[in-house]
Protein backbone atom coordinates (compact mmCIF):
# COMPACT_ATOMS: atom_id res chain seq x y z
CA UNK A 1 0.00 0.00 0.00
CA UNK A 2 1.24 3.51 -0.83
CA UNK A 3 1.99 5.54 2.28
CA UNK A 4 -0.16 8.40 1.00
CA UNK A 5 -2.59 8.84 -1.87
CA UNK A 6 -2.90 11.43 -4.63
CA UNK A 7 -5.47 14.00 -5.79
CA UNK A 8 -5.00 12.59 -9.30
CA UNK A 9 -6.92 9.47 -8.28
CA UNK A 10 -10.22 11.38 -8.12
CA UNK A 11 -11.35 10.98 -11.72
CA UNK A 12 -14.77 9.28 -11.89
CA UNK A 13 -18.15 10.09 -10.39
CA UNK A 14 -20.66 7.56 -9.07
CA UNK A 15 -18.78 4.29 -9.39
CA UNK A 16 -19.09 1.88 -6.48
CA UNK A 17 -17.05 -0.57 -4.48
CA UNK A 18 -18.22 -2.74 -1.57
CA UNK A 19 -15.91 -4.20 1.07
CA UNK A 20 -17.23 -6.74 3.55
CA UNK A 21 -15.45 -8.08 6.61
CA UNK A 22 -16.70 -11.55 7.55
CA UNK A 23 -15.90 -14.30 10.04
CA UNK A 24 -14.40 -17.63 9.10
CA UNK A 25 -16.29 -20.19 11.16
CA UNK A 26 -16.19 -23.92 11.84
CA UNK A 27 -18.98 -26.46 11.44
CA UNK A 28 -20.59 -25.21 14.67
CA UNK A 29 -20.57 -21.58 13.55
CA UNK A 30 -17.74 -20.58 15.89
CA UNK A 31 -14.92 -18.28 14.72
CA UNK A 32 -11.81 -20.20 13.79
CA UNK A 33 -8.43 -19.50 12.22
CA UNK A 34 -8.78 -19.92 8.48
CA UNK A 35 -7.25 -16.99 6.65
CA UNK A 36 -3.88 -18.70 6.20
CA UNK A 37 -5.61 -21.46 4.24
CA UNK A 38 -7.97 -19.15 2.35
CA UNK A 39 -5.75 -16.17 1.59
CA UNK A 40 -2.23 -17.60 1.40
CA UNK A 41 -2.33 -21.35 0.94
CA UNK A 42 -5.49 -22.01 -1.08
CA UNK A 43 -6.39 -21.31 -4.68
CA UNK A 44 -9.32 -18.87 -4.65
CA UNK A 45 -11.55 -18.61 -7.72
CA UNK A 46 -10.69 -16.01 -10.34
CA UNK A 47 -13.36 -13.59 -9.12
CA UNK A 48 -11.65 -13.39 -5.73
CA UNK A 49 -8.11 -13.03 -7.08
CA UNK A 50 -6.63 -9.82 -5.61
CA UNK A 51 -10.00 -9.16 -3.92
CA UNK A 52 -9.53 -11.40 -0.89
CA UNK A 53 -7.60 -10.31 2.17
CA UNK A 54 -7.71 -10.76 5.92
CA UNK A 55 -7.88 -8.54 8.96
CA UNK A 56 -6.08 -8.55 12.30
CA UNK A 57 -7.42 -11.92 13.46
CA UNK A 58 -7.06 -15.12 11.47
CA UNK A 59 -10.82 -15.61 11.75
CA UNK A 60 -11.71 -12.39 9.87
CA UNK A 61 -11.59 -12.23 6.09
CA UNK A 62 -12.34 -9.32 3.77
CA UNK A 63 -13.72 -9.27 0.26
CA UNK A 64 -13.82 -6.44 -2.25
CA UNK A 65 -16.11 -6.32 -5.23
CA UNK A 66 -14.77 -5.45 -8.65
CA UNK A 67 -15.39 -1.85 -9.71
CA UNK A 68 -19.16 -1.41 -10.00
CA UNK A 69 -20.03 0.99 -12.81
CA UNK A 70 -23.63 1.73 -11.82
CA UNK A 71 -25.89 1.21 -8.82
CA UNK A 72 -27.98 -1.21 -10.88
CA UNK A 73 -25.01 -3.59 -11.08
CA UNK A 74 -24.38 -3.66 -7.33
CA UNK A 75 -26.61 -6.62 -6.47
CA UNK A 76 -25.13 -8.93 -9.07
CA UNK A 77 -21.56 -8.03 -8.14
CA UNK A 78 -22.15 -8.38 -4.41
CA UNK A 79 -23.88 -11.73 -4.71
CA UNK A 80 -21.25 -13.06 -7.10
CA UNK A 81 -18.46 -12.27 -4.66
CA UNK A 82 -20.39 -13.68 -1.70
CA UNK A 83 -21.27 -16.89 -3.53
CA UNK A 84 -17.66 -17.36 -4.61
CA UNK A 85 -16.42 -16.86 -1.05
CA UNK A 86 -18.92 -19.24 0.51
CA UNK A 87 -18.19 -21.95 -2.05
CA UNK A 88 -14.44 -21.48 -1.75
CA UNK A 89 -14.52 -21.52 2.06
CA UNK A 90 -16.66 -24.68 2.04
CA UNK A 91 -14.11 -26.41 -0.20
CA UNK A 92 -11.50 -25.74 2.50
CA UNK A 93 -13.78 -26.92 5.32
CA UNK A 94 -14.97 -23.53 6.59
CA UNK A 95 -18.15 -21.49 6.74
CA UNK A 96 -18.57 -17.71 6.53
CA UNK A 97 -20.61 -15.55 8.91
CA UNK A 98 -21.27 -11.82 9.20
CA UNK A 99 -22.10 -9.46 12.07
CA UNK A 100 -20.45 -6.40 13.59
CA UNK A 101 -19.04 -8.68 16.30
CA UNK A 102 -19.36 -12.43 16.37
CA UNK A 103 -21.17 -13.25 19.65
CA UNK A 104 -18.94 -16.27 20.24
CA UNK A 105 -15.62 -14.57 19.48
CA UNK A 106 -13.40 -14.36 22.56
CA UNK A 107 -10.35 -12.34 21.65
CA UNK A 108 -8.01 -13.96 24.16
CA UNK A 109 -8.62 -17.34 22.53
CA UNK A 110 -8.20 -16.28 18.89
CA UNK A 111 -5.02 -16.04 16.82
CA UNK A 112 -3.69 -12.81 15.40
CA UNK A 113 -2.51 -12.68 11.81
CA UNK A 114 1.22 -12.81 11.19
CA UNK A 115 1.25 -10.15 8.45
CA UNK A 116 3.98 -7.59 9.32
CA UNK A 117 1.54 -4.69 8.97
CA UNK A 118 -0.71 -6.11 11.70
CA UNK A 119 2.20 -7.10 13.90
CA UNK A 120 3.42 -3.51 13.74
CA UNK A 121 -0.05 -2.27 14.71
CA UNK A 122 -0.23 -4.64 17.66
CA UNK A 123 3.15 -3.43 18.86
CA UNK A 124 2.25 0.24 18.47
CA UNK A 125 -1.37 0.23 19.70
CA UNK A 126 -1.30 -2.66 22.19
CA UNK A 127 -4.50 -3.55 24.13
CA UNK A 128 -7.13 -1.77 21.99
CA UNK A 129 -5.87 -3.57 18.87
CA UNK A 130 -5.31 -6.91 20.63
CA UNK A 131 -9.07 -7.13 21.35
CA UNK A 132 -10.27 -5.75 17.99
CA UNK A 133 -12.48 -8.59 16.73
CA UNK A 134 -14.73 -6.18 14.81
CA UNK A 135 -16.17 -6.57 11.31
CA UNK A 136 -17.69 -3.78 9.26
CA UNK A 137 -19.22 -2.86 5.93
CA UNK A 138 -17.41 -0.26 3.81
CA UNK A 139 -19.00 1.46 0.82
CA UNK A 140 -16.96 3.45 -1.71
CA UNK A 141 -18.44 5.94 -4.17
CA UNK A 142 -16.26 7.50 -6.85
CA UNK A 143 -15.88 11.29 -6.88
CA UNK A 144 -14.33 13.16 -9.80
CA UNK A 145 -12.64 16.00 -7.92
CA UNK A 146 -10.53 15.88 -4.73
CA UNK A 147 -11.91 19.08 -3.18
CA UNK A 148 -15.43 17.88 -3.91
CA UNK A 149 -14.62 14.55 -2.23
CA UNK A 150 -13.49 16.31 0.95
CA UNK A 151 -16.58 18.54 1.00
CA UNK A 152 -18.86 15.54 0.51
CA UNK A 153 -17.08 13.57 3.26
CA UNK A 154 -17.46 16.51 5.62
CA UNK A 155 -21.20 16.71 4.95
CA UNK A 156 -21.65 12.95 5.31
CA UNK A 157 -20.53 13.08 8.94
CA UNK A 158 -24.06 13.86 10.17
CA UNK A 159 -25.35 10.79 8.33
CA UNK A 160 -22.86 8.41 9.98
CA UNK A 161 -24.97 7.89 13.15
CA UNK A 162 -28.07 7.35 11.00
CA UNK A 163 -26.37 4.49 9.17
CA UNK A 164 -24.86 3.07 12.34
CA UNK A 165 -28.23 3.05 14.11
CA UNK A 166 -29.85 1.25 11.18
CA UNK A 167 -27.02 -1.27 10.90
CA UNK A 168 -26.62 -2.02 14.62
CA UNK A 169 -25.85 -5.74 14.66
CA UNK A 170 -23.40 -6.37 17.49
CA UNK A 171 -24.96 -6.56 20.96
CA UNK A 172 -22.55 -9.27 22.17
CA UNK A 173 -18.82 -8.99 22.71
CA UNK A 174 -16.47 -11.53 24.22
CA UNK A 175 -19.43 -13.73 25.12
CA UNK A 176 -21.64 -11.28 27.03
CA UNK A 177 -24.47 -8.87 26.33
CA UNK A 178 -23.05 -5.34 26.37
CA UNK A 179 -26.43 -3.60 26.63
CA UNK A 180 -25.47 -1.76 23.42
CA UNK A 181 -26.92 -2.18 19.95
CA UNK A 182 -23.54 -1.76 18.22
CA UNK A 183 -20.74 -2.74 20.55
CA UNK A 184 -18.52 -2.99 17.46
CA UNK A 185 -18.52 0.77 17.06
CA UNK A 186 -17.47 1.27 20.68
CA UNK A 187 -14.76 -1.40 20.56
CA UNK A 188 -13.38 -0.05 17.29
CA UNK A 189 -13.26 3.60 18.32
CA UNK A 190 -10.83 2.68 21.11
CA UNK A 191 -8.22 2.61 18.34
CA UNK A 192 -6.47 5.83 17.30
CA UNK A 193 -7.70 7.74 14.24
CA UNK A 194 -11.26 6.40 14.39
CA UNK A 195 -14.74 7.82 14.87
CA UNK A 196 -16.23 10.87 13.21
CA UNK A 197 -13.40 13.14 11.98
CA UNK A 198 -13.21 16.89 12.15
CA UNK A 199 -14.01 18.74 8.92
CA UNK A 200 -11.17 19.46 6.49
CA UNK A 201 -11.08 22.78 4.64
CA UNK A 202 -10.14 21.22 1.30
CA UNK A 203 -8.11 18.39 -0.20
CA UNK A 204 -4.81 20.18 0.44
CA UNK A 205 -5.64 20.26 4.16
CA UNK A 206 -6.55 16.58 4.15
CA UNK A 207 -3.39 15.68 2.23
CA UNK A 208 -1.26 17.68 4.65
CA UNK A 209 -2.82 15.83 7.57
CA UNK A 210 -2.34 12.45 5.88
CA UNK A 211 1.32 13.19 5.18
CA UNK A 212 1.95 14.55 8.66
CA UNK A 213 0.56 11.40 10.24
CA UNK A 214 2.84 9.21 8.13
CA UNK A 215 5.93 11.37 8.47
CA UNK A 216 5.53 11.65 12.25
CA UNK A 217 5.30 7.88 12.63
CA UNK A 218 1.73 8.06 13.92
CA UNK A 219 0.58 5.69 11.17
CA UNK A 220 2.45 3.47 8.72
CA UNK A 221 0.24 4.31 5.76
CA UNK A 222 -2.98 6.12 4.77
CA UNK A 223 -5.02 2.96 5.37
CA UNK A 224 -4.59 3.43 9.12
CA UNK A 225 -6.79 6.51 9.13
CA UNK A 226 -9.80 4.46 10.20
CA UNK A 227 -12.40 7.23 10.33
CA UNK A 228 -16.12 6.47 9.89
CA UNK A 229 -16.08 8.45 6.65
CA UNK A 230 -13.06 9.61 4.68
CA UNK A 231 -11.85 10.65 1.26
CA UNK A 232 -9.98 7.58 0.03
CA UNK A 233 -6.95 9.11 -1.61
CA UNK A 234 -5.87 5.78 -3.10
CA UNK A 235 -9.13 4.82 -4.84
CA UNK A 236 -10.44 8.31 -5.58
CA UNK A 237 -13.63 7.71 -3.62
CA UNK A 238 -15.52 8.80 -0.57
CA UNK A 239 -15.60 5.80 1.74
CA UNK A 240 -18.26 5.27 4.41
CA UNK A 241 -17.14 2.82 7.09
CA UNK A 242 -19.92 3.28 9.66
CA UNK A 243 -22.18 0.20 9.34
CA UNK A 244 -21.84 -3.09 11.17
CA UNK A 245 -21.32 -6.10 8.90
CA UNK A 246 -24.53 -7.82 7.76
CA UNK A 247 -25.36 -11.42 6.85
CA UNK A 248 -28.37 -10.44 4.72
CA UNK A 249 -27.28 -9.04 1.32
CA UNK A 250 -30.46 -6.96 1.05
CA UNK A 251 -29.40 -5.06 4.16
CA UNK A 252 -26.00 -4.41 2.61
CA UNK A 253 -27.59 -3.17 -0.59
CA UNK A 254 -29.84 -0.77 1.33
CA UNK A 255 -26.73 0.96 2.67
CA UNK A 256 -25.10 0.91 -0.75
CA UNK A 257 -28.18 2.62 -2.20
CA UNK A 258 -28.25 5.21 0.58
CA UNK A 259 -24.54 6.08 0.44
CA UNK A 260 -24.60 6.32 -3.35
CA UNK A 261 -27.64 8.62 -3.28
CA UNK A 262 -26.09 10.81 -0.59
CA UNK A 263 -22.79 11.21 -2.43
CA UNK A 264 -24.51 12.03 -5.72
CA UNK A 265 -26.79 14.55 -4.01
CA UNK A 266 -23.99 16.22 -2.06
CA UNK A 267 -21.74 16.36 -5.12
CA UNK A 268 -24.46 18.26 -6.97
CA UNK A 269 -24.83 20.63 -4.03
CA UNK A 270 -21.09 21.28 -4.02
CA UNK A 271 -21.18 22.09 -7.73
CA UNK A 272 -24.05 24.51 -7.07
CA UNK A 273 -21.88 26.36 -4.57
CA UNK A 274 -23.83 25.41 -1.46
CA UNK A 275 -22.26 26.43 1.85
CA UNK A 276 -20.93 23.73 4.13
CA UNK A 277 -22.91 22.72 7.20
CA UNK A 278 -21.40 23.78 10.50
CA UNK A 279 -21.92 21.38 13.42
CA UNK A 280 -19.66 20.76 16.37
CA UNK A 281 -17.93 17.41 16.37
CA UNK A 282 -19.07 16.90 19.97
CA UNK A 283 -22.69 16.95 18.78
CA UNK A 284 -21.90 14.47 16.03
CA UNK A 285 -20.24 12.25 18.64
CA UNK A 286 -23.35 12.52 20.80
CA UNK A 287 -25.44 11.31 17.88
CA UNK A 288 -23.07 8.41 17.34
CA UNK A 289 -23.33 7.44 21.00
CA UNK A 290 -27.13 7.51 20.75
CA UNK A 291 -26.92 5.19 17.74
CA UNK A 292 -24.55 2.83 19.56
CA UNK A 293 -26.74 2.66 22.63
CA UNK A 294 -30.26 2.71 21.15
CA UNK A 295 -29.96 1.58 17.55
CA UNK A 296 -33.30 1.84 15.77
CA UNK A 297 -34.88 3.39 18.87
CA UNK A 298 -32.48 6.32 18.82
CA UNK A 299 -33.44 9.96 18.63
CA UNK A 300 -30.77 12.14 17.05
CA UNK A 301 -29.88 15.81 17.10
CA UNK A 302 -31.03 17.40 13.85
CA UNK A 303 -28.62 19.18 11.53
CA UNK A 304 -29.45 22.50 13.17
CA UNK A 305 -27.97 21.15 16.41
CA UNK A 306 -31.04 22.27 18.33
CA UNK A 307 -34.02 20.01 17.64
CA UNK A 308 -34.21 16.26 18.16
CA UNK A 309 -35.65 13.82 15.61
CA UNK A 310 -36.68 10.20 15.93
CA UNK A 311 -34.73 7.88 13.64
CA UNK A 312 -37.93 6.83 11.86
CA UNK A 313 -38.72 10.43 10.96
CA UNK A 314 -35.19 10.93 9.65
CA UNK A 315 -35.46 7.78 7.55
CA UNK A 316 -38.79 8.86 6.04
CA UNK A 317 -37.43 12.31 5.23
CA UNK A 318 -34.26 10.90 3.67
CA UNK A 319 -36.12 8.38 1.54
CA UNK A 320 -38.55 11.03 0.28
CA UNK A 321 -35.77 13.53 -0.38
CA UNK A 322 -33.43 11.13 -2.19
CA UNK A 323 -36.00 8.90 -3.90
CA UNK A 324 -34.81 5.70 -2.23
CA UNK A 325 -36.56 3.02 -0.19
CA UNK A 326 -33.99 0.56 1.17
CA UNK A 327 -33.31 2.17 4.52
CA UNK A 328 -37.05 2.53 5.15
CA UNK A 329 -37.36 -1.23 4.72
CA UNK A 330 -34.48 -1.68 7.16
CA UNK A 331 -36.11 0.53 9.76
CA UNK A 332 -39.44 -1.26 9.49
CA UNK A 333 -37.79 -4.67 9.94
CA UNK A 334 -36.40 -6.24 13.11
CA UNK A 335 -32.94 -4.84 13.85
CA UNK A 336 -29.90 -7.07 13.73
CA UNK A 337 -29.21 -6.55 17.44
CA UNK A 338 -32.79 -7.35 18.44
CA UNK A 339 -32.76 -10.45 16.26
CA UNK A 340 -29.53 -11.69 17.81
CA UNK A 341 -30.94 -11.31 21.30
CA UNK A 342 -34.15 -13.09 20.33
CA UNK A 343 -32.31 -16.01 18.73
CA UNK A 344 -29.89 -16.37 21.59
CA UNK A 345 -32.94 -16.88 23.78
CA UNK A 346 -33.50 -20.07 21.78
CA UNK A 347 -29.89 -21.28 21.85
CA UNK A 348 -26.35 -20.14 21.18
CA UNK A 349 -26.19 -22.59 18.27
CA UNK A 350 -29.32 -21.08 16.68
CA UNK A 351 -27.79 -17.61 16.97
CA UNK A 352 -24.48 -18.71 15.46
CA UNK A 353 -26.24 -20.45 12.57
CA UNK A 354 -28.29 -17.33 11.81
CA UNK A 355 -25.16 -15.30 11.06
CA UNK A 356 -23.82 -17.62 8.38
CA UNK A 357 -23.81 -16.57 4.75
CA UNK A 358 -25.43 -19.09 2.46
> Given the DSSP bridges, would you call strands 299-301 and 308-310 parallel, antiparallel or unpaired?
antiparallel
199-253 residue pLDDT tens: 999 999 999 999 999 999 999 999 999 999 999 999 999 999 999 999 999 999 9
The pLDDT of residue 1 is above 70: no
**pLDDT level of residue 4 (50, 70, 90 thresholds):** confident
Nearest to 3 by CA among 227, 240, 218: 218
Under 8 Å between Cβ of 43 and 176: no
| Contacts of 348 by beta carbon, 8 Å cutoff, 6+ apart | 103, 104
Under 8 Å between Cβ of 13 and 50: no
**pLDDT at residue 305 in the model:** 83
**pLDDT at residue 5 in the model:** 80
Q: What is the mean pLDDT of the chain?
A: 96
Q: Which residue has the higher pLDDT, 188 or 304?
A: 188
Q: Domain 7-354 carries which CATH code?
A: 3.30.590.20
Per-residue burial over 38-52, b if 16 or more Cβ lie within 10 Å, else e, is: bbeebebbebbeebb
Instruction: Read off the pLDDT of each residue in 40-61 and give the average, rounded to a whole number.
Output: 95
Nearest to 190 by CA among 173, 205, 168: 173
**Residue 339, number of CB atoms within 10 A of its CB:** 18
**pLDDT at residue 272 in the model:** 97
77-107 residue pLDDT tens: 999 999 999 999 999 999 999 999 999 999 9
User: pTM, whole model, 2 decimals?
Assistant: 0.97
Domain residue spans in the chain? 7-354
CA distance 316 to 309: 11
Amino acid sequence: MDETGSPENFTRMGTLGIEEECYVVDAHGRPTSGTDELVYEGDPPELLQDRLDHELFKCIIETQTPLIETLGDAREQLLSVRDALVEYAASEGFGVAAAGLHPLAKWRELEHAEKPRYRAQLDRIQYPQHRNTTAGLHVHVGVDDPDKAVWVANELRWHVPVMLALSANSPYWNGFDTGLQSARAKIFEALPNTGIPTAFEDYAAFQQFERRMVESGSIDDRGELWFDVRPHSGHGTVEVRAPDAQADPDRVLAFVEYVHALVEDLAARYEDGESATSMRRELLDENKWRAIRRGQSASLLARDGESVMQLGDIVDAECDRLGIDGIRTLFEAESGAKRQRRLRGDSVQTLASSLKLS
